[in-house]
Structure formats: structure tokens, C-alpha cells
């Protein structure tokens, strides 16, 4: 029997056993999964699509009130394995892909703590190449969002070492970006500035250029420069970011931008990044949402202007509202109005401030 056939039988045995015990105890997949695992993970196990790690198997057995040995096929049921450990690298990769995807989803949904739990369950000694890079990158991101600064930097440092060994420039850039954000979060704005300036230099040299990421970098640079009281450079960085957003808004559909990025990544043989861009394009096909970053940048720009030249700040903000109000989404207008209210409040014009609140 081939390794694939053996592993399929193992997966079917374990999945069927877990499903039968769960149904016998009238538990839902959610009740069996949470808080350690995701529902999609349990579902995939029950369908025999992936094999749980020994640690995961122990947790599931304990939750079902069974000895973990009952969930492991005997030697006669599998003559080519000594336990539930998978021999097929292909099946391992499918399991890792699912777990990493679920962790990434947790982060994007604001559940970084769940992502940490999800990632820490993985057997990292079996991860290879890009999976190991993504593992440490996502773990660093989740630690950043939960204010675990040292753990964040340690995870990102590991990710960067592996990315360099694999000559993975795309992931190296993303890792450096998170490092810059981590430096800023701990108040080291000079190091944050240097890190994001390094990222910007890399982006400007390489193809394809992602305008969304470029806009993000200028926004980050503007914030660092504001903390360092370099007002002229702050304004320039925010203006660069807004110029990119205005250019993006000229497209009839944002998906056109993602298609172009995807095609460029594909031509450069960076197929994972190409796939991500195509998926974003598909998601945008039937919707058109304003860029939330635009609102954030206007807020920071207004604050930077007030620190450098308050009269110029008022003139600029009122000018944007007067000449571009029809082009701005509600969130961006709210940011500008808030800045104006703050300006009038700081200058003791309470009645005018109330009009903008």
C-alpha cells in the first residue's frame, strides 16, 4: 500500500472515530473545537482530510473523555506507521496550510490571542521553507497586536533569518515592515523610521510595486516623523500617501489595480503573492468600499499641520471640505471635521468647535 493510501486510511479512521464519539455525546463541532482549535480544523479531521498532531489528539481525546490510545489505530490497522504521525509530506503541507490560514484569519478578524493559540499548537519541527517563514511571521504579528513586544521581535527575527536563507524577498519586506511597526509601538521612533525607510527603498527598486503597501509605508513614515518633530518631512510623507490614494480612486474599480499587481507577480514567478492579489480582486468584484487608510492619513496630516503651522492647518482642512467634499467618503469627512473641531478648541473658539463635533 502506498504512503498516500495508508495516510488516507489513517485519516478516515481517526476522523470517523472522533465524529462518532462527538455525535454520541451530542456535541457540536464548535463545542469540541473551542477554545484551542477552529471549527474548520475539526471538520477537516472528521472528513479525513488532515491528521491531528499528537498533542491535538490528546486534547480531543480528553475532551471526549477517552484515552488517547483509542483514537490511534493499532499496528494491524496500519502496518506502515507507528502512530498518528504522518509519513506523507503532501498531507503535512495541507494540514499546515489550513492551520496557518486559520491563524491568519484570526489576526485579520482582531482575534490575535486565538491566532497565537492556533500557531503554538503546530509541530514546528515539521514545518519547512515558506511554511516556517509564515509561521514565525504570523506569530510575530499576533504578538505585536497583543503587546508582547519581545516575543514579537524574537519571532520576526527568526522569520527574517529563514527568509534570507530561502532568498524570499517578498516575505523579507513584510517582516521588516512589522519590525518597524514594533519599534514604533515601543517608542523607538528613530529605529522605526530607519526600518520603514529601508522598506521604502526596497519597494521603489522592485517590481511589481504594490500601491497599497506603498501608501501604508508613507503613512507609517509620516507618523514616525511626526513623533520626531520633523514637520516638513511629516507633511511630505502624508501628502505622498494621499496622492497614491487619489490615484487609486481614479480607477473605475479597485480590482483593476489588484489584477495588474497579480499579473506582475505572476510574471516574476511569485505565484503565492499573485494568488493573493487575484483573490482580493475576486472579493472586490461586486463591491466598492472606500479606503479606510485615507481617513487615517487625513487625521494624521491634520494633526501634523497643527503642530507646525496652525493657520495653514485650518486653511488646508477647510479647503479640502469646500472643494472635495463630494469625493470624500463619510469616514474621511469625519476625520477632517474632527481635526477642525480640535483646531477651534485649541484656539478657544468653543462655538465653532461645537459646530464640527
Is residue 41 within 8 Å of residue 102, measured between CB atoms? yes
Per-residue b or e along 199-213, where b marks 16 or more CB atoms closer than 10 Å to that residue's CB? bbeebeeeebebbbe
Structural domain contains residue 245: no
pLDDT the model gives residue 67: 73
Is residue 81 within 8 Å of residue 87, measured between CB atoms? yes
Structural domain of 68: 3-87
Residue 205 predicted with pLDDT over 90: no
Segment 270-274 long-range contacts (CB within 8 Å, at least 24 positions apart): 270/170, 272/130, 272/170, 273/170
Structural domain contains residue 272: no
Q: What is the average pLDDT value for the chain, to the nearest integer? A: 75
Residue 140 predicted with pLDDT over 90: yes
Structural domain contains residue 81: yes
Residue 310 predicted with pLDDT over 70: no
Q: Assign residue 77 the CATH number of its domain.
A: 1.10.260.40
Mean pLDDT of 268-297: 61
CA distance 182 to 250: 33
Is residue 189 within 8 Å of residue 227, measured between CB atoms? yes
Give the count of domains, the chain: 1
Q: Tell me: the pLDDT tens digits for 216-260?
A: 999 999 999 989 989 889 889 988 988 888 777 665 556 677 777
Structural domain contains residue 233: no
Q: Tell me: the pLDDT tens digits for 316-345?
A: 666 666 656 555 666 666 766 776 677 666
- % of the chain exceeding 70 in pLDDT: 60
Structural domain contains residue 55: yes
Mean pLDDT of 107-115: 88
Per-residue b or e along 321-331, where b marks 16 or more CB atoms closer than 10 Å to that residue's CB? eeeeeeebeee
Residue 277 predicted with pLDDT over 60: yes
Structural domain contains residue 134: no
Residue 126 predicted with pLDDT over 50: yes
Residue 176 predicted with pLDDT over 90: yes
pLDDT the model gives residue 109: 83
Task: Give 303's pLDDT tier (boundaries 50, 70, 90).
Answer: low
Structural domain contains residue 35: yes
Structural domain contains residue 62: yes
Residue 155 predicted with pLDDT over 80: yes
Q: Tell me: the pLDDT tens digits for 47-95?
A: 877 777 666 777 888 888 877 666 655 443 444 444 444 444 455 566 6
Q: Tell me: the pLDDT tens digits for 21-42?
A: 888 888 888 888 877 777 777 8
Residue 45 predicted with pLDDT over 90: no
Task: Give 138's pLDDT tier (boundaries 50, 70, 90).
Answer: very high
Task: Kindly tell me the sign of the dihedral angle through the C-alpha atoms of 35, 39, 40, 41.
Answer: positive
Amino acid at each position: 500500500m502506498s504512503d498516500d493510501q495508508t495516510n488516507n486510511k489513517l485519516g478516515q479512521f481517526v476522523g470517523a472515530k472522533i465524529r462518532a464519539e462527538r455525535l454520541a455525546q451530542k456535541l457540536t463541532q464548535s463545542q469540541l473545537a473551542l477554545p484551542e482549535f477552529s471549527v474548520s480544523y475539526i471538520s477537516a479531521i472528521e472528513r479525513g482530510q488532515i491528521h491531528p498532531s499528537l498533542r491535538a489528539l490528546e486534547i480531543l481525546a480528553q475532551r471526549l473523555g477517552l484515552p488517547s490510545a483509542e483514537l490511534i489505530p493499532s499496528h494491524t490497522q496500519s502496518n506502515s506507521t507507528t502512530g498518528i504521525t504522518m509519513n506523507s509530506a503532501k498531507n503535512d503541507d495541507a494540514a499546515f496550510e489550513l492551520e496557518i490560514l486559520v491563524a491568519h484569519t484570526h489576526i485579520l478578524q482582531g482575534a490575535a490571542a486565538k491566532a497565537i493559540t492556533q500557531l503554538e499548537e503546530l509541530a514546528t519541527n515539521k514545518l519547512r521553507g515558506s511554511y516556517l517563514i509564515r509561521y514565525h511571521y504570523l506569530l510575530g504579528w499576533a504578538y505585536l497586536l497583543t503587546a508582547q513586544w519581545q516575543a514579537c521581535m524574537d519571532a520576526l527575527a527568526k522569520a527574517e533569518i529563514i527568509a534570507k536563507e530561502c532568498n524570499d524577498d517578498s516575505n523579507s519586506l513584510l517582516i521588516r515592515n512589522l519590525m518597524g511597526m514594533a519599534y514604533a509601538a515601543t517608542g523607538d521612533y528613530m529605529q522605526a523610521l530607519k526600518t520603514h525607510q529601508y522598506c521604502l527603498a526596497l519597494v521603489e527598486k522592485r517590481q511589481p510595486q504594490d500601491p497599497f503597501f506603498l501608501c501604508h509605508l508613507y503613512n507609517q513614515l509620516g507618523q514616525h516623523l511626526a513623533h520626531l518633530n520633523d514637520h516638513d518631512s511629516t507633511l511630505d510623507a502624508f501628502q505622498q500617501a494621499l496622492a497614491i490614494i487619489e490615484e487609486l480612486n481614479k480607477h473605475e474599480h479597485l480590482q483593476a489595480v489588484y489584477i495588474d499587481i497579480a499579473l506582475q507577480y505572476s510574471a516574476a514567478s511569485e505565484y503565492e503573492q499573485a494568488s493573493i492579489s487575484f483573490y482580493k480582486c475576486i472579493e472586490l468584484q461586486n463591491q466598492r468600499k472606500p479606503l479606510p487608510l485615507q481617513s487615517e492619513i487625513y487625521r494624521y496630516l491634520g494633526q501634523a499641520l497643527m503642530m507646525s503651522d496652525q493657520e495653514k492647518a485650518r486653511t488646508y482642512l477647510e479647503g479640502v471640505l469646500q472643494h472635495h467634499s463630494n469625493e470624500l467618503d463619510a469616514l474621511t469627512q469625519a476625520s477632517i471635521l474632527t481635526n477642525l473641531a480640535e483646531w477651534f478648541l485649541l484656539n478657544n473658539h468653543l462655538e465653532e468647535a461645537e459646530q464640527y463635533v
